[in-house]
Chains A and B, each alone.
Chain A
Amino acid sequence: MNTNDSDIQPIIAQICIDMARGLIVAGAGTARVEETVHFIGESCGVTIDSQVTPTSIVVSVGDDNPTIRICRVRARTIDLDKMAELNQVARDLCKHKITIHAARMHIAKILARKPIYSRFTIYLGQGLCCAGFSIMLGGGAPEVFPAFIAGLLAQYLLEVLGHMPLFLCAFTSAVTTTLAALLAHYWCPLFLLEPIILAGLVPLLPGLSLANAVADLMAGELTAGLARTTEALLCAAALAAGAMVGMNLMDVL
């Protein structure tokens, strides 16, 4: 054989760390990421161990003289497309449909790729999402339009203000939607206030984060579970604070 263990270990470690980082950044759960890494190692015929938290990844490959890689994750988003693609690569690698070199190239390409939907589509999606939820949360046909505008505005403002920490993002969006809803209400009092504000806030709520956190805690992943709980609580607190500030501003004006 041309390839020996010392040659192949760093490559597998590289693949595992890229895969894990891509999955975590795309918003996958830690247990799922560890599972994927484990499968990759098993299919390549090496012993592998990993420790994945929402903020850091450690992978060690090999028995004696192991290769150990550490990776720090600073920002997380939700990008389901990237998650699906990375999962597909992992599947193919496990079935030996593609070689490890090809897999590494695929992963690098996926991580460097632009998001699949344009910015405009995302604005529109956020607006429509708020419009739909305003009906669901007790509004009628009239509330659709202010909710649409509120969602659009919040998303646009987030893009304009650039990359911010999670807390500030949630805060800004909450303030914007609340102000938009209150303006609509004061302009035409027949617009119900509650559905519009709620519709603006619900897509921002960290529901999945909290659910993931409880799932992690129950599975015995204490570090990841606590980290995710903290993130979710912080986000919820920011939303509440933002809505409060919006209402108080409106009272003052």
Chain B
Amino acid sequence: MTPSAAPLLANASFSTMLSQVQEYLVHLVSFYRDPTHLTSSLDAFLLVLGVLLGIGASAITFRIPFKELLWATAAGFLGWETMYCLSQFDFPTLSATTLGAFMVSITAEILARDRRAPATIYVVPGILPLVPGRAIYNTMLNSLNGENTLARDGGVQALFGAGGIAIGMLLGTAIARGLMHSKRLQRNSLEHELQRHLKTHQSNPNQERRNRLKAPKKGTRHSIREISQNVEERFTRFLDNAENAGNSSTSPKRAKELLGKLEAKRKKVATASQRHEMPVSAPREALNLSDSQEAYPTPAATKHRRKK
């Protein structure tokens, strides 16, 4: 055996291995394609599994919050299921697509109100299986082969499919907004929350601004500047009380004590606000959408998540 033959031999062994694998694959695939081996229920199961996998995985590529992954998959599956069942019963494809999109949209609106997230989250992955991909592909293929009539037909089908999806989504949104009568779902909508809030504070237009300066609830985070303003406001009230107490002269000693305390606290707040004053405008690089570090060097803000 000459040394020059060695790579050839290696090539030959690799190609034989490849052909063996190929033979095995052909065997496997032909076994799968043989209809006597498999029942149709397994096929249906595979189809459902594939659709669920497709919607869920595409939701992940769109960076969906992990909590909503299951719900988005469910919404998308419901839409696809509607379309598939209708087309099995010889429904026209366009109407089936429209009804599927309608289903996705209305499910998304209900989920959005129930789970307090924007409806788009559930719509984006859910609409994917309804997109007329086959029609677009056929258009492309036919125009590549020079069959212009077929290409035109496919193009019209694709355009109508997209229009159908849009109309279904519009219908779903309109119905969800107009006819949603469930008290619980209404209460959760952003619009309703705001209106109720405005109604309760209508008597005093300055109430909103005052609300902003109220003592913070436990767990919410405010800038130091606001807190100091807040504290000062309360201290002025406290000061008035103290002076009143001095005037009525129940105990001048007590009044002096209170005033001393107040002074000490004021000094403390002043130093604190000097140390931690927030910048008035956010730094520009913090707003760029790069993978930079955290926006502020201050202690990390409480992670802002929906609480149920």
Q: Using a CB-CB cutoff of 8 Å, which residues 81-101 of chain A contact chain B?
A: 81-85, 87-92, 94-101
Interface presence of A202 (CB below 8 A): yes
Distance in angstroms between the alpha carbons of A25 and B229 in the assembled complex: 35
Q: Could you tell me if B193 and A108 are in contact, using CB atoms closer than 8 angstroms?
A: no
Which 5 pairs show the lowest CB-CB distances between chains A and B?
A135-B50, A132-B54, A214-B166, A132-B53, A207-B131
Contacts of B128 in A (CB 8 A): 133, 202-203, 205, 207
Interface string of B277-291 (1 = CB under 8 A from A): 010111000111111
Interface presence of A197 (CB below 8 A): yes
Q: Could you tell me if A112 and B292 are in contact, using CB atoms closer than 8 angstroms?
A: yes
7 new A-B contacts at CB < 8 Å, known A105-B278, A132-B51, A211-B127: A18-B282, A43-B208, A91-B193, A102-B221, A155-B61, A198-B137, A202-B133
Contacts of B131 in A (CB 8 A): 202, 205, 207
Q: Could you tell me if A85 and B22 are in contact, using CB atoms closer than 8 angstroms?
A: no
Q: Which of B61, B116, B280 contacts A126 (CB 8 A)?
A: B61
Interface string of B182-225 (1 = CB under 8 A from A): 00000000110110011000000110111111001100111101
- Secondary structure type dominating chain B contacts: helix
Q: A101-B223, A102-B221 are in contact. Are A80 and B62 (CB under 8 A)?
A: yes
Residues in B lying within 8 Å of A, measured CB to CB: 22, 25-26, 28-30, 32-33, 43, 46-47, 49-66, 68, 80, 101, 116-118, 120-121, 123-124, 127-131, 133-134, 136-137, 139-140, 144, 162-163, 165-167, 169-170, 173, 190-191, 193-194, 197-198, 205-206, 208-213, 216-217, 220-223, 225-226, 229, 233, 278, 280-282, 286-296, 301, 304-306
Q: Which of A14, A78, A127, A239 contacts B124 (CB 8 A)?
A: A78
Contacts of B169 in A (CB 8 A): 211, 215
- Secondary structure type dominating chain A contacts: helix
Interface presence of A121 (CB below 8 A): yes
Q: Could you tell me if A125 and B61 are in contact, using CB atoms closer than 8 angstroms?
A: yes
Between-chain CB contacts (< 8 Å), 24 pairs: A2-B229, A3-B212, A14-B282, A39-B191, A43-B194, A83-B120, A91-B190, A95-B197, A99-B212, A101-B223, A104-B282, A106-B301, A116-B63, A125-B60, A126-B61, A136-B51, A190-B26, A190-B30, A205-B128, A211-B169, A214-B162, A214-B170, A215-B166, A218-B170
Distance in angstroms between the alpha carbons of A102 and B221 in the assembled complex: 6
Indicate the member of B25, B26, B57, B226 with the most A CB atoms within 10 Å: B57
A207 to chain B, nearest CB (A): 4
Contacts of A83 in B (CB 8 A): 118, 120-121
Distance in angstroms between the alpha carbons of A11 and B137 in the assembled complex: 50
Q: A27-B124, A81-B63 are in contact. Are A105 and B301 (CB under 8 A)?
A: yes
Q: Which of B52, B61, B223 contacts A122 (CB 8 A)?
A: B61
Q: Could you tell me if A136 and B294 are in contact, using CB atoms closer than 8 angstroms?
A: no
Distance in angstroms between the alpha carbons of A114 and B294 in the assembled complex: 9
Indicate the member of A42, A44, A188, A244 with the most B CB atoms within 10 Å: A188
Interface presence of A29 (CB below 8 A): yes
Q: Could you tell me if B294 and A112 are in contact, using CB atoms closer than 8 angstroms?
A: yes
Q: Which of B68, B140, B288 contacts A243 (CB 8 A)?
A: B140
Interface presence of A111 (CB below 8 A): yes
Q: Could you tell me if B46 and A141 are in contact, using CB atoms closer than 8 angstroms?
A: yes
Interface presence of A227 (CB below 8 A): no
Q: Could you tell me if B190 and A214 are in contact, using CB atoms closer than 8 angstroms?
A: no
The closest CB in chain A to the CB of B158 belongs to A236
